[in-house]
Amino acid sequence: MLPSNGKTWKSAFFLTLGFIMGILYVVCIFAVVNFSANSALFQNEAGLNTNTTCTFEYYEALLDELSGERYAVLRVVDFIRLYRNNSLPLDKVIVILRHDVDFSPIHAYKMSALELSHGIRSTYYIRTRGPYNILEKRFYHWMKNISNAGFEIGLHYETLYYSDYNFTEAEKLLEFDLDFLRRIVPVHTVCAHGNAPKQKHVNYEVFTRNPVLYSNLEIEGEAYLTIFQILKELERSGKIRAYAYLSDTYRRDIDWIGCLKNASRGSVIYLLIHPDNWKMQSNF
């Protein structure tokens, strides 16, 4: 029953309204705090710290080390082929050298030139849906030139993300992107790109859900799935002493050279280096 007194009714109304607004205020404050916490977590995950080793001066010293007799530096496709032919150089420290060109090819030009001067060949994974244009004249000729010089060019695919996680559509996009890149250079292996810290599906799930894709698309392997499957098999069979995966993702500070020097012959070191993460020297 409503109070008969008008003032009493109004007081009750405003008291109730104030109570509801108070609850909404608390909820909003909680949401803002929670969002801030998640934002801070994302920044931590993204690793916004400055890296002291990711410089081209350090990379040249790293290549000097890799030029030593104890190392066998392989492209991704080399490692896969040698494993399948049972001819891996197990008397060496095997180093798989891979680069993901995520945002800008400028540093990739410099990095490949340094590798070429040291007699080292590596794998560069290229995005066809990224922020750069692979048909731009300099980029186009760089890919053709290093491919002709013995480097491997692979597709850094992200088709699950761009198909809104529709697997059927993702497979079609993957075939399209492969054909597009193969019109410029040969492509033997592919590598999934990570579009966000948290995704509904990882891009390489197109292969885990449909392994026939490898043969359908004439792909010899995937830089994550195939390589780690081989490494685990080699370790399980006792053919290698150990393996390590070193990545500069989120600009982690790594003692790259120290890790290589401490590796024993008969082990495998898998290096992932993003050219974008490495600083140019003023005199380079």
- Exposure letters 94-116 (e unless 16+ CB within 10 A, then b): bbbbbbbbbeebebbebbbeebb
Is 163 strand, coil or helix?
A: coil
- Confidence at residue 252, expressed as pLDDT on a 0 to 100 scale: 77
- Residue length of the chain: 284
Reported CATH class of domain 56-277: alpha beta
- Confidence at residue 196, expressed as pLDDT on a 0 to 100 scale: 79
What is the pLDDT tens value at each position of the chain, 284 positions in all?
Answer: 444 455 555 555 555 545 544 443 433 333 333 323 232 222 223 333 445 678 999 999 999 999 999 999 999 999 999 999 999 999 999 999 999 999 989 999 999 999 999 999 999 999 999 999 999 999 999 999 999 999 999 999 999 999 999 999 999 999 999 999 999 999 999 999 998 777 899 999 999 999 999 999 999 999 999 999 999 999 999 999 899 999 998 777 899 999 999 999 999 999 999 999 998 765 44
179 in Cβ contact with 157 (< 8 Å): no
Tell me the domain boundaries of the chain: 1-46, 56-277
- Exposure letters 169-194 (e unless 16+ CB within 10 A, then b): ebbebbeebbeebeebbebbbbbbbb
- Confidence at residue 249, expressed as pLDDT on a 0 to 100 scale: 87
- Confidence at residue 260, expressed as pLDDT on a 0 to 100 scale: 97
- Confidence at residue 265, expressed as pLDDT on a 0 to 100 scale: 97
One DSSP character per residue, 20-55 reads HHHHHHHHHHHHHHHHHHHHHHHHHHHT-SPPSS-B
Is 87 strand, coil or helix?
A: coil
